[in-house]
Amino acid sequence: MAKKAVAAAAAIAAAAIVLSGCSAGGANDPENTIDGEVKGEITVLTNRTDRVDDGTFETYAKEFNKKYPDVKVKFEGVDDYDNAMKTRLNGDKYGDVLAIPAQVKPGQYDQFFEPLGKTSDFAEKYRWTEKATSGGEQFGIVTAGSANGILYNKAVFEKAGVTELPKTEDEWLAAMKKVKQSTDAVPLYTNYKDGWPLGQYNGSIGAITNDVNGGVSMAENDAPWTEGGEKGTDIYALDSLMYDTVAAGLTESDPLSTDWEGSKTQIAEGKIGAMILGSWAVIQMKQAAEKVGANPDDIGYMAWPSNIDGKQYAVTDGDYALAVSKHSKSKAAAWAWIQWFVEESGYAENEGMINTVKDADAPSYLTDLQDAGVELISPALAPEGKESLQKDIANDAGIDLFGQVYRQKLIDIARGAADGDKDSYFAELNKKWGAAAEKNAE
Residue 294, number of CB atoms within 10 A of its CB:
20
First to last CA, the chain: 34
* Domain boundaries, given as residue ranges, for the chain: 9-144+319-361, 146-318+370-442
Percent of the chain with pLDDT over 90: 79
Confidence of residue 27 (pLDDT cuts 50, 70, 90): very low
State residue 5's pLDDT score.
Answer: 34
State residue 240's pLDDT score.
Answer: 97
The enclosing H or E element of 32 equals none
State residue 86's pLDDT score.
Answer: 87
| Helix/strand/coil for 437 | helix
Q: Residue 71 pairs with which residues in a beta bridge?
A: 40
Average pLDDT over residues 399-421: 95
Whole-prediction pTM: 0.81
State residue 231's pLDDT score.
Answer: 65
State residue 230's pLDDT score.
Answer: 61
Confidence of residue 345 (pLDDT cuts 50, 70, 90): very high
Q: What fold, for 146-318+370-442? A: D-Maltodextrin-Binding Protein; domain 2 (3.40.190)
State residue 130's pLDDT score.
Answer: 87
Mean pLDDT of the chain: 90
pLDDT digits (tens, 9 = 90+) for 87-139: 899 999 999 999 999 889 888 999 999 999 999 999 999 999 988 999 899 99
Q: What angle do CA 279, 404, 299 make, to 5 degrees?
A: 25
pLDDT at 74 over 80: yes
- CA-based nearest residue to 62, from 345, 404, 392, 372: 345
283 vs 304: CA distance, rounded Å: 19
Amino acid letter for position 202:
N
pLDDT at 50 over 50: yes
Confidence of residue 229 (pLDDT cuts 50, 70, 90): low
State residue 340's pLDDT score.
Answer: 98
| Helix/strand/coil for 158 | helix
Q: What fold, for 9-144+319-361? A: D-Maltodextrin-Binding Protein; domain 2 (3.40.190)
pLDDT digits (tens, 9 = 90+) for 368-377: 888 889 999 9
Sign (positive/negative) of CA torsion 112, 117, 121, 122?
Answer: negative
Amino acid letter for position 209:
T
State residue 370's pLDDT score.
Answer: 83
State residue 6's pLDDT score.
Answer: 32
Confidence of residue 80 (pLDDT cuts 50, 70, 90): confident
* Residues 6+ positions from 137 with CB-CB distance below 8 Å: 109, 110, 115, 116, 117, 118, 119
49 vs 430: CA distance, rounded Å: 37
Q: Could you tell me where the DSSP H helices lie in 326-404?
A: 331-343, 347-350, 364-371, 389-397
9-144+319-361 and 146-318+370-442 in the same fold: yes
pLDDT digits (tens, 9 = 90+) for 411-427: 999 999 999 999 999 99
pLDDT digits (tens, 9 = 90+) for 127-177: 999 889 998 999 999 999 999 999 999 999 999 999 999 999 999 999 999
Confidence of residue 30 (pLDDT cuts 50, 70, 90): low
| Helix/strand/coil for 188 | strand
